[in-house]
């Protein structure tokens, strides 16, 4: 049975070129990049080359790139570091549809004394810019942290407009770009964001390695203390193989951006055929301003977990919204924030493609999915 992998927003297949680039730094080139000898300095050179590759992908200078141990660490580093640097300001503005890395962090910050304002979205998942404008009127706002692309629906936030509003109020803007980087063109200088998080494993790099863009001159305090690494912004010996991997993945992602048009066409064919062949289905979220690889489909009065289990039995991998919330029978906080009808939200399945997805895989999924839904509805007929 061939695997049909349609869960690329959870993680992507590491590109073969990425794996190959990492291997020497897992075997013979194991020197510590902080060592002064030539052996260690080969690792240092590899890190700086990766920094340059990542900078080219997102449109910034090498000095503005900080490597972290994952996307969640990147978000925590950005938000906590900006909040600490902006004391005594304690207000954090975010949205109601953030990934758990941002949402749960803000909940913890509230327990620590911060005031969090969550800007709402409409049923299409579009951020309410008027609410954001109102939230920025106070003098106690420390920062804004809003995602670029929603991990469940793929809906894109108007980050350029958010950045402009933040500049007017002289408030730092952190953008969680984890799902956007590698899928859509990114130019942080043109966008006007002050900080942006991203993770290698979302664009065919290794897990456990991520990056954080910090605009030159931005006041920021480190999250991890304990060494001079990363220009004193993150202590700890660098994960050289992982950093080499994110660099190579960034280089390949930049070269492969034109392929996302083909991915979009495959996504649209999958989505349109589901809607045409399976009754009582709908797309959750707006269908214009979104990632080219993502669709979130609600199956009326079904449970997503049941759909996913039957799909998995036949080799099709998808997700119930966010991979981080898998296992919960409750609709995701994102779909609740969008006020999606519970009868569709409970049965919401996210299909996310990559540049490795083939037409044959889409055909195989389309052959299997209607039978899965038919089987479930035979057991639990739609009212």
Number of CB atoms found within 10 A of residue 25's CB: 22
CA 115, 330, 100, 193 dihedral sign is negative
Rounded to 10 deg, the angle between the 16-26 and 240-256 helix axes is 160
Collapsing DSSP states into helix, strand and coil, what is residue 275? helix
d(CA 22, CA 50): 11
| Selected catalytic residue, list 106, 166, 317, 324 | 324
The question of whether 106 is a catalytic residue gets the answer no
CA distance readout (Å), 308 to 2, 50, 203, 362: 16, 37, 23, 16
Collapsing DSSP states into helix, strand and coil, what is residue 366? helix
Residue 181's nearest CA partner among 55, 324, 288, 6 is: 55
Strand order across the beta sheet in which 195-199 lies: 65-68, 210-214, 195-199, 173-176, 141-147, 91-95, 115-119
Active centre residues (catalytic): 324
């Amino acid at each position: 049975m061939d695997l049909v992998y349609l869960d690329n927003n959870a993680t992507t297949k590491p590109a073969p070129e990425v794996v190959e680039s990492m291997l020497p730094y897992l075997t013979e080139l194991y020197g510590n990049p902080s060592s002064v000898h030539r052996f260690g300095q080969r690792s240092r050179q590899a890190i700086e080359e990766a920094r340059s590759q990542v900078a080219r992908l997102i449109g910034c200078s090498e000095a503005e790139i900080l490597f972290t141990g994952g996307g969640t660490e990147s978000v925590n580093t950005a938000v906590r570091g900006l909040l600490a640097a902006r004391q005594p300001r304690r207000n954090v503005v975010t949205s109601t549809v953030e990934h758990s890395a941002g949402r749960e962090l803000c909940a913890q910050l509230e327990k620590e004394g911060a005031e969090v304002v969550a800007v709402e979205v409409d049923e299409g998942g579009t951020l309410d810019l008027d609410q954001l404008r109102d939230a920025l009127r106070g003098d106690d706002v420390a920062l804004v942290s809003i995602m670029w692309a929603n991990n469940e629906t793929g809906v894109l936030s108007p980050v350029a407009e958010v950045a402009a509003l933040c500049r007017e109020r002289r408030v730092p803007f952190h953008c969680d770009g984890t799902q956007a980087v590698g899928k859509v063109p990114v130019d942080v200088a043109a966008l006007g964001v002050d900080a942006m998080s991203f993770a290698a494993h979302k664009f065919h790099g290794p897990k456990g390695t991520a990056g954080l863009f910090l605009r030159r001159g931005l006041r920021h305090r480190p999250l991890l203390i304990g060494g001079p690494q990363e220009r004193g912004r993150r202590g700890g010996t660098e994960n050289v193989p992982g950093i080499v991997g994110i660099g190579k993945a960034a280089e390949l992602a930049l070269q492969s951006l034109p392929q996302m048009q083909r991915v979009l066409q495959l996504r649209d064919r999958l989505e349109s055929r589901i809607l045409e062949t399976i009754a009582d289905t709908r797309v959750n979220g707006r269908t214009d301003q979104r990632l080219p690889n993502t669709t979130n489909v609600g199956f009326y009065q079904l449970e997503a977990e049941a759909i996913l289990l039957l799909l998995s039995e036949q080799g099709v991998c998808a997700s119930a919204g966010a991979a981080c919330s898998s296992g919960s029978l409750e609709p995701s906080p994102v779909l609740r924030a969008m006020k999606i009808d519970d009868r569709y939200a409970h049965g919401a399945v996210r299909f996310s493609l990559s540049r490795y997805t083939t037409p044959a895989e889409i055909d195989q999924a389309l052959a299997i999915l209607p039978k899965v839904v038919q089987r479930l509805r035979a057991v639990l007929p739609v009212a």
